[in-house]
Structure 1
Amino acid sequence: MYAKSILTLGIILVSIWLTQDLFAQDLSSKAKAFLETLDPNLRQKATFPFDHSERFNWHFIPRERKGVNFHDLNPVQTEAGLQLLKASLGLPGQEKTQAIIELENVLRVVENRPPNDTYRDPDNYFFSLFGTPDASGEWGWRFEGHHVSLNFSSKRGTIASATPTFFGSNPGIVQVDLHRGKQVLEKETNLGFAFLESLDESQKAIAIYTDKAPNDILTGNDRKASLQSPKGIGYSQLTKSQQQMLEELIAVYLINYTDSVRDRLWGKVRSTGIQHVHFAWAGSTVNAIGQPHYYRIQHPDLLIEYDNVQNNANHVHTVVRDLNNDFGEDVLGNHYSYGHSHQAE
Structure 2
Amino acid sequence: MGMHLHTRRSIALQLALVFPSVARFMAAYAQKQAVPAMAGAAKAFLDSLWKEQREKATFKLEDDEHSTWFYTPVPRKGLPLREMTSGQRQLALALLSAGLSQNGLAKSTTIMSLEDVLASMESNGVNRRDPDGYFFSVFGDPSEKGAWGYRVEGHHLSLHFNIRDGHLSGAPSFFGTNPAKVLEGRRKGLRVLSREEDLGRDLIQALNPEQRKTAVVLAAAPRDILSEHSRQAALIGEPNGIQISALNAAQGDTLQTLLHEYCDNMTDEIAGFRRDQIRKVGNHLWFAWAGGIQPGEPHYYRIQSPEFLVEFDDTQDHANHIHSVWRDFRGDFGRDLLAEHYQDSHHHRVRA
Q: TM-score over 0.5 for the alignment?
A: yes
Find the partner of 2:101 among 64, 84, 90.
90
| 8 Å Cα contact 2:219/2:291 also seen in 1 | yes
Structure 2: 5+ residue stretches without partners: 1-14, 348-352
CA distance in 2, matches of 1:330, 1:113: 43
Find the partner of 1:111 among 122, 143, 146.
122
Determine if the alignment matches structure 1 residue 317 to structure 2 residue 315.
Answer: no
CA distance in 1, matches of 2:159, 2:17: 20
CA distance in 2, matches of 1:113, 1:229: 43
User: In the TM superposition, what are the counterparts of 1:1-345 in structure 2 within 5 Å?
Assistant: 10-18=19-27, 20-26=30-36, 27-113=38-124, 117-157=126-166, 160-227=168-235, 228-271=237-280, 273-288=281-296, 291-337=297-343, 338-339=345-346
| 8 Å Cα contact 1:163/1:321 also seen in 2 | yes
How many residues align? The count is 329
* Equivalent AA in structure 2 for residue 213 of structure 1: A
* Equivalent AA in structure 2 for residue 303 of structure 1: L
SS in 1 for 2:20: helix
Identity of aligned residues (%): 38
Structure 1 residue 169: Cα displacement: 0.5
CA displacement, residues 31-71 of structure 1 (integer Å, 9 cap, x when unaligned): 11110000111111110000110011100000110010111
1:343 corresponding residue in structure 2: none
* Equivalent AA in structure 1 for residue 302 of structure 2: R
Structure 1 residue 85: Cα displacement: 0.9
CA distance in 1, matches of 2:311, 2:105: 20
Q: TM-score, normalised by structure 1?
A: 0.91
CA displacement, residues 128-147 of structure 1 (integer Å, 9 cap, x when unaligned): 01011122110010000000
CA distance in 2, matches of 1:285, 1:79: 42
* Equivalent AA in structure 2 for residue 33 of structure 1: A
Structure 1: 5+ residue stretches without partners: 1-5, 341-345
* Equivalent AA in structure 2 for residue 195 of structure 1: L
Q: TM-score, normalised by structure 2?
A: 0.90
CA distance in 2, matches of 1:322, 1:264: 11
Which portions of structure 1, spanning 4 or more consecutive aligned residues, are displaced by more than 3 angstroms? 6-9, 16-19, 21-25
